Amino acid sequence: MHHLNKLDTKMALLEVKDLKVRVEEREILHGLTLTVNEGEIHAIMGPNGSGKSTLSHVIAGKPGYEVTDGQILFKGEDLLEMEPNERAAKGVFLAFQYPVEIPGVATMNFLRTALNAQRKARGEDEYSTPDFLKKVREVSKSLNIPQDMLKRGVNVGFSGGEKKRNEVLQMALFEPSLCILDEMDSGLDIDALRIAADGVNALRSPKRSMVVITHYQRLLNYIVPDVVHVMSKGRVVKSGGKELALELEASGYAQFEDAA
Amino acid sequence: MNVAVAKTGKGRAVSDLFTSAEGRLPGSPAVTAVRREAFETYERLGLPHRRLEEWKYTDLRALVGEVLPLAASPDAATLKRAADAVKVHAIDGARKLVLVDGVFAADLSDVKALVAEAGFKTLRETLDKDAGLLKTASIDAMIALNAAMATDGVVLSIADGAKLSAPIQIIHIATAASASAFTRSQVAVGKGARATIVETFVAAGAKAYQVNDAVLVSVGDDSDVAHIRLMDDAPDAVNVTSQFVTIGANVKFNFFNMTTGAAVSRLQGFIALAGEGSELSANGVNLLKKTEHGDTTLVVDHAVPNCVSREIFRAVVDDRGHSVFQGRIIVRPDAQKTDGKMMTRALLLSDEAEADNKPELEIFADDVSCGHGATAGALDDSLLFYLKARGLPEKQAQALLIQAFVGEAIEQIADDGLREHVIGVAERWLERRQ
């Protein structure tokens, strides 16, 4: 029985403890606590201004946020002590709500540089060019990404759907253990959303956790979460199973705004 | 005029320098007379300073102070050092012409392969006969000093219809410390010819040296010429190069300069479009750090109608570096239907970095399309964060964005191999930052 018990006890991958964050003197997160275990998919829902994107930015290490209290542990290590690139090498991946366009940096060059930088930071061998090309080809084929897209500048001239697919491509390539999807559905029509969600679902694995941040329940029809959290005014105000998302869809966020 | 009265103590040193160097300067007595006259012009003007509009941002009196004595002629040991440098900086397949401390080094050069396709002499050889190459219309002090002091150079003639099978690379190597090299070269391209000229300036163990180079280029009608320059000097060097280009009709001239070193550098290019229907693409990059001062000054002179000129310049300035870009487009009264555009952008990597852009349009014709634009700014934080969030350390993320920034100018180099070579030089500069 001891053996079975051990299987049931999931490892905490991400632990956010009583996190307080300020932006320019204004507190956005007022003591947020959240634990994501290995292999779980968590959805974070909430109205605009509830602090969802702030949480994703602070986990990824975006400058401009001041953590005044609390901590974030990733695989037991203090994430806040690390540079954004160190977090990436440890396995944190933020899929941006608005992926930036980088003119003059070819997508292929970017992907290879990033992947090898992460491998180097972990003390792994860097990919040779042929091995890398093979890997990109495999991954992009499985995501229906045309090779032509990879020759262009990073996200330059990409549609909203192409930009999100490029994020999923990177997720597949870098093989992170934690994926944070920040408003992945914003700016996507239903077809583009389905393609991106299919890509994400293909990456579900017992070794990979995901935090899906969204305003709408719609995305969660495609990426079905294990746990749903409701954020309001900088705190998690309610957590539950996937049915909580449906409940929210029916009744809206107003009840929680009062609760917070 | 009593020049001595007007001079500072530092000015006297130059005068002594000329007197002591005179015996080593090649040329017939007639040439010596021309040199002396040029030196008097220099003495009268002195080192350029900020009260001269053309030198407003590059005050050589303040930045350099004095001209160092002429470098000794290279000996066996310095030639050995130079040979090692040639190996590092030579472009694959190019025909090399090597000047060491201002003296042509035949043993390091590919004269035999070159003369099968182009006429070649050294400056020293031509000065045995006449002083023509020492004469330029300009009254710039540094150019006059160059005429007075030039010890050697390469004189190339490319015949009508000749299509060179390989680039010609002129490699200037400094090996001497605290000394000057003065070189003057000529490239005369005939009609309907095709040629690529590369000039590379590097050091082989030299410290605190000075370079004063002048190049006279003429391009005949219907020719296609690329001229790529790499000023990759030691960090404590001074390099002032003057370039005169005259372009005939229906020519494609692709010009590029990149500065990746030197405490003080200036490229001053004077490019005249003298035949109709020609296209000039003149581009440049300054990569500067520490307290380096890099000045690229280009004067494009549309003397005839129906020519196109395009200029793209990029400066990347770190630490307390100072980049200067002066771009003047002259459109003469006859030069109707001129299409001239110039775009210069500076990327400042530190709060103390400085970039001065001085675009000037002097338009005397009424049916032309000319324009210029200039920007200066820092790296975009949102792009930097995106790259770091993907695993790139700060400096590497910066390097990728810097490469993209200068890429627009480097991309104008038409030849794939040369473009790769230039990118390699820029990458080495970026690696030195990391």
CA distance B394 to chain A (A): 8
Give the per-residue pLDDT at B296. 98
Q: What is the CATH number of the domain that holds A189?
A: 3.40.50.300
In this prediction, residues B153-171 reach a mean pLDDT of 98
> Is residue B332 situated within a structural domain?
yes
Q: Based on the number of CB atoms within 10 Å of its own CB, is A20 exposed (0-12), middle (13-18) or buried (19 or more)?
A: middle
- Give yes or no for a contact between A209 and A177, defined as CB atoms under 8 angstroms apart: yes
- To the nearest whole Å, the CA of A152 is away from the closest chain B CA by 13
d(C-alpha A41, C-alpha A45), whole Å? 13
Instruction: List, in order, residues 6 or more apart from B275 with CB less than 8 Å away.
Output: B221, B247, B248, B249, B250, B251, B304
Nearest Cβ partner of A84 from B380, B382, B388?
Answer: B388
pLDDT digit string, tens, across residues B371-402: 999 999 999 999 999 999 999 999 999 999 99
Per CB-CB distance under 8 Å, the chain B contacts of A103 are 404
Give the number of other CB atoms < 10 A from CB of residue A63.
Answer: 10
Strand, coil or helix: what is B299?
strand
Q: Does the residue B373 lie in any domain?
A: yes
Contact present, A227 and A43 (Cβ < 8 Å): yes
Instruction: Dump pLDDT digits (tens) for B101-121.
Output: 999 999 999 999 999 999 999
Mean pLDDT in residue range B356-362: 95
The per-residue pLDDT for A5 is 45
Contacts of B217 (CB under 8 A, 6+ apart): B186, B187, B188, B189, B197, B225, B227, B243, B244, B245, B246
* ipTM, 2 dp: 0.95
Q: Give the domain range for residue B212.
A: 70-377
Rounded distance between C-alpha atoms, residue A120 and residue A85, angstroms: 11
Gap from B373 CA to chain A (nearest CA, Å): 19
Give, as one character, the DSSP assignment of residue B307.
-
Q: How far apart are CA B17 and CA B377, in angstroms?
A: 43
**Å between B370 CA and nearest CA of chain A:** 26
Whether residue B26 is predicted with pLDDT greater than 50 in this model: the reply is yes
Region of residue B177 (left: phi > 0; alpha: psi -120 to 50; beta: else): beta
Residue of A nearest to B381 (CA): A63
Task: Provide the domain count of chain A.
Answer: 1
pLDDT band of B139, cuts 50, 70, 90 = confident
A85 vs B392, B400, B401: nearest CB: B392
Residue A107 is part of which domain span? 2-259
- The Cα of A179 is separated from the nearest Cα of chain B by a number of Å equal to 12
Banded pLDDT at A3 (limits 50, 70, 90) = very low
Q: How many contacts does A have with B, using Cβ atoms within 8 A?
A: 75
Q: Is the pLDDT of residue A253 over 90?
A: no
Mean pLDDT of the B140-144 span: 96
> Pseudo-torsion of CA A86, A91, A97, A99, nearest 10°?
60
User: Which residue bears the tokens 């509009």?
Assistant: B53
Domain count, chain B: 1
Q: What pLDDT is stored for residue A258 in this prediction?
A: 59
Question: B403: which chain A residues are within 8 Å (Cβ-Cβ)?
Answer: 104-105
Contact A102 B382 (CB under 8 A): no
Quote the pLDDT of residue A107.
Answer: 95
pLDDT tens, B75-87?
999 999 999 999 9
A37-93 pLDDT per residue, tens? 999 999 999 998 899 999 999 999 999 999 999 999 999 999 999 999 999 999 999
Mutation choice for B interface testing from A101, A154, A166, A181 by most B CBs within 10 A: A154
- Is B344 within 8 Å of B359 (Cβ atoms)? yes
Residue B7 confidence (pLDDT) above 80: no
Query: Does residue B373 sit at the A interface (CB-CB below 8 Å)?
Result: no
Residue A259 pLDDT level (bands cut at 50, 70, 90): low
- Alpha-carbon B188 to chain mean position: 17
- Stretch A123-129: mean pLDDT, rounded? 94
Residue-by-residue DSSP string for A15-81: EEEEEEEEETTEEEEEEEEEEEETT-EEEEE--TTSSHHHHHHHHHT-TT-EEEEEEEEETTEEGGG
Confidence of residue B252 (pLDDT cuts 50, 70, 90): very high
B208 in contact with A, Cβ within 8 Å: no
Cα–Cα–Cα angle for B222, B227, B230, nearest 5°? 175
Residue B219, in any domain of the structure: yes
Q: Does B302 map to a domain?
A: yes
Q: Does residue B13 surpass a pLDDT of 80? A: no
Question: Could you tell me if residue B75 is inside a domain?
Answer: yes
Q: Which of A102, A109, A117 sits opposite B391 (nearest CB)?
A: A117
pLDDT in tens, B171-226: 999 999 999 999 999 999 999 999 999 999 999 999 999 999 999 999 999 999 99
Cβ distance of B393 and A114 shorter than 8 Å: no
Residue B106 is classified by DSSP as: G
Q: Quick one: pLDDT band at residue B237, thresholds 50, 70, 90?
A: very high
Residues of A in contact with B390 (CB under 8 A): 85, 88, 110, 114, 117-118, 170, 174
Contact residues, chain B, for A121 at CB < 8 Å: 391, 393
Q: What is the CA radius of gyration of chain A?
A: 18
